[in-house]
């Protein structure tokens, strides 16, 4: 039986629902990317955004880096998102990460993969492919929701499906228990694998990376009245809503 991949980010899904401006995890990732590029020497860099969507984050990075010699490349599965990205002056490719990244070995200096790894049947392959396309000493910035975020620890104890973890491809109300009223009219985003800090670091190490920095980021979906708590606890990555890791290829 052929497994049909669901494009959760097409015109009927989340394709037009992204907020303007950068999310907290994007601001941290941008800071890490810009600092890493500023600290390197040698020929102009090539930066790859895995799961680039409409390319808007690449445009943000380009504006921040301000180096016209840097090459910007994006890959994504969603044809809807790539059609929007095509208006930008960068290189884009349609990509099924279950099959690999359509770029040559050792052709990239930095890979950014934000909120992608949790959507994959085979996350190991994605990390392996990131290592393959990176030149020796290249860097990877990866972000993903934290299964062990502070509120998920409480929800586990209460017998409620944790935030970010989806068991249904049709409704986020499945498993929400008394919180199901907050999930009405919401749609899954396609999460298949979730990581805590230890699991993400372990996977990166197994696939040839050395983590340099692990940071936590706030999640905009947390009620506004709890933003302060999410930000405070996020200073400890193991409790943070979102994990942001900078790693170097060994």
**Angle of CA points 191, 195, 196, to nearest 5°:** 140
Q: 98-127, pLDDT tens digit by residue?
A: 999 999 999 999 999 999 999 999 999 999
Q: How far apart are the C-alpha atoms of 138 and 72, rounded to whole Å?
A: 15
pTM summary value: 0.91
By the 8 A CB rule, do 101 and 95 touch? yes
Report pLDDT for 5.
Answer: 64
pLDDT digits (tens, 9 = 90+) for 78-95: 999 999 999 999 999 999
The stretch 10-37 carries a mean pLDDT of 80
Q: How confident is residue 177, by pLDDT bands cut at 50, 70 and 90? A: confident
* pLDDT value at 21 more than 90: no
Contacts of 73 (CB under 8 A, 6+ apart): 46, 47, 48, 49, 90, 91, 92, 93, 103, 108
Q: Where are the domains of the chain?
A: 24-148+190-249
Q: What is the reported pLDDT for 20?
A: 54
pLDDT tens digits along 28-69 = 999 999 999 999 988 999 999 999 999 999 999 999 999 999
User: pLDDT grade, residue 1 (50/70/90)?
Assistant: very low
Overall CATH class of domain 24-148+190-249: alpha beta
pLDDT at 166: 87
Residue 156 main-chain phi, psi, to 5 deg: -55, -50
185 vs 172, higher pLDDT? 172
**Per-residue pLDDT, 238:** 97
Share of the chain above pLDDT 90, in %: 76
């Amino acid at each position: 039986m052929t497994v049909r991949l669901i494009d959760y980010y097409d015109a009927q899904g989340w394709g037009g629902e992204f907020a303007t401006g950068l999310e907290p995890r994007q601001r941290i990732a941008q800071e890490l990317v810009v600092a890493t590029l500023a600290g390197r020497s040698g020929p102009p860099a090539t930066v790859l955004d895995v799961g680039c969507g409409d390319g808007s984050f690449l445009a943000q990075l380009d504006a921040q880096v301000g180096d016209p010699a840097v090459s910007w490349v994006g890959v994504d599965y969603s044809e809807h998102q790539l059609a929007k990205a095509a208006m930008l002056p960068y290189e884009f490719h349609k990509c099924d990460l279950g099959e690999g990244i359509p770029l040559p070995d050792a052709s990239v200096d930095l890979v950014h993969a934000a909120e992608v790894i949790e959507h994959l049947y085979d996350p190991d392959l994605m990390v392996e492919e990131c290592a393959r396309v990176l030149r020796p000493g290249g860097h990877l910035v990866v972000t993903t929701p934290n299964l062990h975020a502070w509120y998920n620890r409480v929800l586990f104890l209460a017998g409620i499906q944790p935030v970010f973890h989806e068991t249904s491809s049709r409704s986020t109300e499945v498993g929400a228990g008394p919180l199901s009223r907050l999930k009405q009219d919401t749609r899954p985003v396609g999460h298949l694998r979730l990581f805590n800090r230890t699991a993400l670091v372990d996977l990166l190490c197994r696939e040839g990376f050395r983590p340099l920095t692990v940071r936590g980021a706030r999640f905009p979906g947390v009620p506004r009245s709890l933003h302060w708590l999410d930000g405070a606890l996020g200073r400890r990555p193991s409790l943070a809503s979102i994990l942001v890791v900078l790693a170097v290829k060994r």
